[in-house]
Amino acid sequence: MADLLKVENLSAGYGEAVVLNGVGFELHEGETLALLGRNGTGKTTLINTLAGATRQHAGSITLAGVPLHKLASHQRAAAGIGWVPQERNIFKSLTVHENLTAVARPGRWSPERVYEMFPRLAERKTNLGTQLSGGEQQMLAVGRALVLNPRLLLLDEPLEGLAPIIVTELLKAISRITREEGLSAIIVEQHPQAILAISDRAIVLDHGNVVHADTAAALRTDPSLLDRLLGVAR
């Protein structure tokens, strides 16, 4: 299986503060990677660095042969990065439909396909971003990343603070996007079991370093290891 993403000796942070230290991993085309770790271990910093929103001090990031570390964030989006940050960053003064059409790029993911995946958004396509619930905003953030037609989808805690029924909807959608549609993804999530169930591989960060890498299934089925690494087995 061909490598889609290759990260080598990556050090990055904010200003002069270094959060990530020599991080390296690879992601194959069509794979989903669960990015795990306790709070404050560098997960969001890694996602933000891939998207171009931090200061990179060393190392390289390559997406399908393109050196991303030399590109600004908007150029990374054009190169194939779809980013759903914790803050969602939807355009709250625009309607749902305007949010989608404003950034859409040619490809298989169109606003209409997003509406088919998230019927709630179809029902609210003329609503402003400020008129959406938190779960609907998250669906819109995912949809807006999809209509960029990326090669790699970055999801930073997509289930955080959402009602259980919305969590179920989003998990089904993410599983379809990755499992059925074959879109590669990196997913950060504080509650790992649900994400490990729909991921191929997992890496665990601690103090800005990769301290564990394995298949998602191996980590999910080893409660003692999960508890030791994350303290969340039960």
Query: What is the number of alpha carbons within 13 Å of residue 183 lying toward its C-beta?
Result: 28
Q: What is the pLDDT of residue 2?
A: 75
How far apart, in whole angstroms, are the C-alpha atoms of residue 94 and residue 142?
Answer: 16
Q: What is the pLDDT along the chain (234 residues), one digit of tens a residue?
A: 678 999 999 999 999 999 999 999 999 999 999 999 999 999 999 999 999 999 999 999 999 999 999 899 999 999 999 999 999 999 999 999 999 999 999 999 999 999 999 999 999 999 999 999 999 999 999 999 999 999 999 999 999 999 999 999 999 999 999 999 999 999 998 888 889 999 999 999 999 999 999 999 999 999 899 999 987 544
| Nearest CA-CA partner of 213 in 5, 47, 25 | 25
Q: Please state whether 78 falls in left (phi above 0), alpha (psi between -120 and 50) or beta.
A: alpha
* pTM over 0.85, yes/no: yes
- 141 by Cβ neighbours in 10 Å (0-12 / 13-18 / 19+) ranks as buried
**Distances from the Cα of 207 to the Cα of 11, 46, 66, 214, angstroms:** 12, 12, 28, 19
Task: Delimit the domains of the chain by residue range.
Answer: 3-80+150-230, 85-142
> Cβ–Cβ contacts within 10 Å for residue 44, how many?
20
How far apart, in whole angstroms, are the C-alpha atoms of residue 20 and residue 24?
Answer: 10
How far apart, in whole angstroms, are the C-alpha atoms of residue 126 and residue 139?
Answer: 15
Q: What is the pLDDT of residue 234?
A: 42
Fold for 3-80+150-230, please state it. Rossmann fold (3.40.50)
